Structure 1
Amino acid sequence: MTTESILLISRATRNAHEVLETHADRLARRTGVDDVDVATYDSEPIRELTPQFERLTAETVYAVPMCAAHGHDTTTGIPAALSALPGEVHYCEPLGRSPAVTEVIEDRGTQLVPAADDVSLVLVGFGSSSKPYHRQTTDYHATRLREHSGYGEVLTCYLLQNPTVECVRYNTTTDRAIAVPLFLTRTEATEQEIPAKLELDRGGIEYADPLGAHPRITDAVHAEVEKQRALADGDRSAERSFEAQLTRTQRRVATDGDGGER
């Protein structure tokens, strides 16, 4: 019988290991796979993840990038490092486009201020000057929240592109606002940079926690893994997915043992 594992991958941010282990424990209880593993890295995914991946022995691995949207690491370094896995790899989508994440965003907001016509909900994304994925993900949730939530307005802003975080205070039209960072874990950006740019000390804007260990994030991971399982069992479209293409095209080069070219 083929052994299966789920592999949760993240940057080693301030509480990343704690958050990932919480999701891993839940997934181990509900999925029936043989193992749920956690892997983190600081800055060089190929060099740092390769030795962690080489220790895994499952014949089929569902690798989940634990982030809101694709970025440089998830489209280059991480898929290249996955070639170190000895088994068959199914590289999953990031979590951001799951409807469950919309629920987490709304829950994070209503924990601070209940939805009302005189309250703005602000989604704070990372953004990118060259890739569309963070904007697409943030816009997806903003659209759903405008349609289904009770907030007077739902706005988006970004750290690395327009509209920028520091413009939020001047773009809202309501008296109160809640800003929800679309980040899985606590980082320097969520703890320092975003609060400073929002000028939280001026009042009028409440600031929510990142998505973190919310149970619905576990649900989002579970749903993505089950989708990949179903595709692997009988749908050739899995081989044509963006993530499958990444694992085919992003490969480690001939190395001297730490990911560098000879």
Structure 2
Amino acid sequence: MAQELIKDPYSFDFLALGPAMSERELEQGLLEHLRSLILELGKGFAFVGSQHHLEVGGQDYYLDLLFYHLRLRCFVIVELKIEDFRPEFAGKMNFYLSAVDAQLRHDSDAPSIGIILCKGKNEVIVEYALRDSTKPMGVAEYRLSAALPEPLQRELPTEAEFAREFPLMALVKLRIEVEREIRLLVADQTEAERPLALGPMLTELQRLGLAPQTADRLRNALQTMNPAAHGLDVESADASEATKVATAFLAELRAIRDSGSS
């Protein structure tokens, strides 16, 4: 029955999950696309529940996904793994099948079936793990789509748009960090009212003798950074040069501040 029921691999192209997903995220994604999941599993599956609770020997256990197959007349347990198959997975599934057969299965039901869904598997290890098992279970792989689902593709920026916007975003972030570091350094040196704009603050820093050697280069870079901060387009070459200058200035500024506080 298990061989007849299980396909390999299962395709979860409808999910938008990265390689760093957790088992909980995989389960949640499948539940959010339950109709697509049932269509992929095949005809006859009826969803019973997720994290279905079982109590055995006074201890609590939870099944990832529990289905009932209307044609085979049996429960189907699906365990999700975000790693390659390991032999102990079969032992755990054997335990779950015994518990479901004892607690949920009716007299007219067929023995419950277990499906262990893994990221990958070694056929020899699977064969050895299941060779002497008396419970109907199988191991299958799942595949995630390398491409984003169409609805997400429409919502996200294109590669060209991202390439154009990212340098500006990085430049604006750098400008904010530079301004914050200058403000903190000037505040440590004087209690007088401090200028608010970045240009005058840089002048004040130079007056105090605390400006890095790259201060004049940063002043020139502000001609690119200020328009970017106001959402105006700047040339990519200018943005790249301003980013290099601001990064160097920021490193020198932090070194000066750290040496002054030590």
Same-fold status (TM-score > 0.5): no
More helix by share: 2
Structure with larger Rg = 2
Q: Report the TM-score, using the length of structure 1 for normalisation.
A: 0.28
